[in-house]
Amino acid sequence: MVRLSAVDFSKIEEIKDHDFQNIEVTPKGNFLLHNYFELFIFENTLKDIKAVSGPLDMDDIQFLNWNNNCLKFRYNELGNWNKQLIMEYNEDTKTVQYSLGTVI
């Protein structure tokens, strides 16, 4: 992943040790990313990327939609691919919690 300058598109920084699948800009202007198994957030630099823990091990994460400062996302429970869950990332608390109607 490469972060570019908004002025002249020159490279500011780069990281090569993550395999991100998707990125969302949060309502507060931060970046929420995921690979297949984990959520990550960064606010200032790519070097400051932090994993966001959830209550279960996740697999095949898919972002769905924002509702105010909460992003709903779907995933399969790791090792139990028949069980899909809906969770919410809350940007205010920087936590992941179950969403209503969690099991699909």
Cα 59 from chain centroid (whole Å): 13
Number of domains in the chain: 1
Look up the domain containing 21 and give its range. 2-103
Over residues 57-99, the pLDDT tens digits come to 888 889 999 999 999 999 887 777 778 888 999 999 989 988 7
Contact predicate 49/40, CB 8 Å: yes
First to last CA, the chain: 32
What pTM, to 2 d.p., does this model score? 0.79
Over residues 2-44, the pLDDT tens digits come to 889 889 999 998 888 778 889 999 999 999 999 888 899 988 8
